[in-house]
Amino acid sequence: MTELESLLEERWELASQRVAQIAGEAKDGTAWEGYFSGMASFLQLAVETGRKWQQSTPEEKRRRNALLYGDILPAAYGHCYGDPAYAVEKLGECGRYLSFLYSELRGMIVYAMEGRLWDMTVCCELFLEVYGVFEREGGRGVDPKGLRDILYWYVSDHCDEMVERRIREQVDPSCSFAVRIIMGADLTSPDYLYDFGEWVTDSERQVAVFLGSLSQQEIDQMARTYTEGYRMGFINTNKDLSKKETVNIRYCLGFERVVRAAILQFREMGLSPVIYRAAAHVINKRQHHRIGYHGHVPNKQFDYDHRGDAALFLDEDLVQRKLRATQRAYEKYRELADVHAGPAVMEIFGETPFTPQSCPEAFVLSDRQQKLQVSCDNQLAQITNRYIKGEERSFTIIAWPVPEIGEDFQEIFREVMKINTLDAKLYEQIQQTIIQALDQGDRVHIQGRNGNRTDLTVALYPLEDVGSQTAFENCVADVNIPVGEVFTSPRLKGTSGILHVSRVYLNELLYRDLELRFEDGMITGYTCANFGDEEENRAYIRENLLYHHETLPMGEFAIGTNTTAYVAARRYQIEDKLPILIAEKMGPHFAVGDTCYSWSEDIAVYNPDGREVIARDNEVSILRRQDKEKAYMGCHTDITIPYDELGHIRVCTPQGAVSILEDGRFVLPGTEALNEAFG
């Protein structure tokens, strides 16, 4: 044991013993003592759970899982210090900071399960430092600013270690906690799910049981659709997969049988799996989003209430420290980063759409901090792109339903299996017909109907030689599964009008009557009907759709052709539960943010007919040649108009307008087969 390891062991022994004392001390019933006693008991439970896990019975594992997550479930949340409103009610202004502490300390579950002694130690030491302030003051007259300083320096002082750990687990296959479980567990019983340390519900168990009922051939086919799409993504963009050695698999618990098959298939391609968990430390989180593998989200309102916790520490010094830490970490693991191929993502859908409730007591980024966050995200993306090169990496995404989608879950799942494996060749031919019509025009007009207020003109990239060039990519289920769209990066100048959708689910949040106004391709106005207050509606969009940018460009215009998916969604009444991955194929869609080719604009892309897709830049992304921070937004969100809200799509050519869709049906000659699903 090294001197540093010995010192860490000593720190851990001292901290854990003191936490145990606090958990066992008699209290007089004050709110602050109840808070610290409860948190100490939670920390003890997490540590004990990790220590005894291998000897625990399945029944004991289920019991401990329920104890660790029970207090933040919706039924208990209103009386939980994780709720900033409750914390402020009970503890005054200090409650906001103690609610932050509560959220950060929940990472102890992960650290104890994975045996991460450093993380366990610094969390307990932070808890003890804050407890010491209240103990000295007897809980009275505690200065909230003093608490803020303690929490700020906790993030700042440990930023380097936390960021380095996060970078390493994204590229290093030896960080294999999840892989060991997936490849070594007995997947015939869903009890293995508790070994990850994530919240497990009947949903994950039902998925595991259902997949266990499928034949190995069916499982292999599901995995092959996913892994082959990943491989084709490299081929279709002329990237050399043979230079790569690792692939990041992201998924939600319950799908381990498919993931195991995918790991074996990726290994046949020469790729080792990197499967990292959604971030636990606040410095590595991005609002309420979970990037990495995870179990059931215990309470989306809890995640949403803490999406702005960075407001507590985000300043110029911290941003610079995080950027330096990221640069150093990538430099340390540069060889691993250089052979990393990119993410292969399995999404889930079917959960009840989440409509967040406003919590005034929650932390929110100030205007200055919002600008800092945007700048920080842009610079982090540039650092990442230098080590995991955009022109060399690719990705793929596929989505599967979960039992919350309804009593027809198994039937819907099999329907999605069919949708994900539709005849790509047939769609390729039909979509080529659409592209040929689009390439004859200089703009497209999209009009809504049935209450949809969309009235939008999209300007198209000019072609010098229609025989060898095209503005639209023919998307046939490689990186973006299922099949069914043609897309382009539109010209911003001349792209103007209103985009409206009556109801849409974006980035795990529900929007009602979402309306965006564009002038020369840039968002100039926005609103929705989620809240009674217009300012609250605008703040909701700015934070969760614009990601704190003043405006965003239209980065993509596409026409979805997957009428089979649309009709299936209508038949099972699951339109509002579909992920954008499938929903974007069910009508025209418009992405705000970066183009589909961000960080890879200089790589030639060709359609199956041999023509080069030249619309890979727009007036914003081209700024990368002078200033990358002005060129990239770090986001790309697709917004779809469903067929039943669509009046027409018409391409404007020198000879006149050519209709592609009218009243929600394809009318361009050669596309009639797409309407058969409606019949």
DSSP 500-532: EEEEEEETTEEEEEEEEEEETTEEEEEE-SSSS
Label residue 28 by pLDDT band (50, 70, 90). low
Q: How confident is the model at residue 106 (pLDDT cuts 50, 70, 90)?
A: very high
Bigger pLDDT: 575 vs 85: 85
Reported as type and span, the H/E element at residue 415 is: helix 409-419
pLDDT of residue 141: 83
pLDDT tens figures, 203-242: 999 999 999 999 999 999 999 999 999 999 998 888 999 9
Q: Which helix (H) or strand (E) holds 165?
A: helix 144-171
What pLDDT sits at residue 296?
A: 97
Task: Show the tokens assigned to 538.
Answer: 């605008």
**Burial class for 156, CB neighbours closer than 10 Å (0-12, 13-18, 19+):** middle
Which pLDDT does position 26 carry in this prediction? 65
Phi, psi of 296 (to 5 degrees): -65, 135
Is the pLDDT assigned to residue 111 strictly greater than 80? yes
In DSSP notation, 173-197 reads TT--HHHHHHHHS-TTSGGGGGGG-
| Mean of all residue pLDDT scores within the chain | 94
Percent of the chain with pLDDT over 90: 86
Tell whether the model's pLDDT for residue 114 goes beyond 80.
yes
Q: Which two tokens stand for residue 581?
A: 């991955």
pLDDT score, position 25: 82
Taking only the tens place, the pLDDT of each residue in 300-338 is 999 999 999 999 999 999 999 999 999 999 999 999 999
Q: For 520-525, what is the mean pLDDT?
A: 98
* Mean local confidence (pLDDT), 183-209: 97
Structure confidence at residue 352 as a pLDDT band (50, 70, 90): confident
Mean pLDDT of 529-536: 94
Cis peptide bond prior to 482, omega within 30° of 0: yes
pLDDT over 70 at 477, yes or no? no
Contact between 305 and 359 under an 8 Å Cβ cutoff? The reply is yes
pLDDT, average across residues 634-660: 94
Angle at the Cα of 401 from the Cα atoms of 395 and 407, rounded to 5 degrees: 175
Judged against a pLDDT cut of 80, whether residue 1 lies above it is answered with no
DSSP 370-405: HHHHHHHHHHHHHHHHHHS-TTT---EEEEEE-GGG
Amino acid identity at 168:
R
pLDDT single digits (tens) 409-432: 999 999 999 999 888 889 999 999
* Distance separating alpha carbons of residues 496 and 515, to the nearest angstrom: 13
> Is residue 284 pLDDT above 80, yes or no?
yes
Rounded CA-CA distance 123/433 in Å is 59
Quick one: pLDDT band at residue 80, thresholds 50, 70, 90? Answer: very high
Q: What share of the chain is helix, strand, coil (3-state, %, to 5)?
A: 50, 20, 30
Residues making up the chain, counted from first to last: 679
Tell me which residue has tokens 């099972």: 572
- What's the rounded Cα separation, in Å, for the pair 313 and 147? 12
CB atoms within 10 A of CB 498: 16
CA-CA distance, 357 to 396, in Å (whole number)? 33
Which residue did the predictor score with more confidence, 579 or 294? 294
Residue 402 pLDDT? 97
Encoded tokens for 365: 């980024």
Task: Tell me the average pLDDT across 478-487.
Answer: 89
- Give CA separation, 376 vs 326, 513, 634, 635, in Å: 11, 31, 10, 13
Residue pair 378/632 in contact (Cβ under 8 Å)? The answer is yes
Contacts 24+ apart (CB under 8 A), 88-92: 88/361, 90/31, 90/35, 91/31, 91/32, 91/35
**648 pLDDT more than 90:** yes
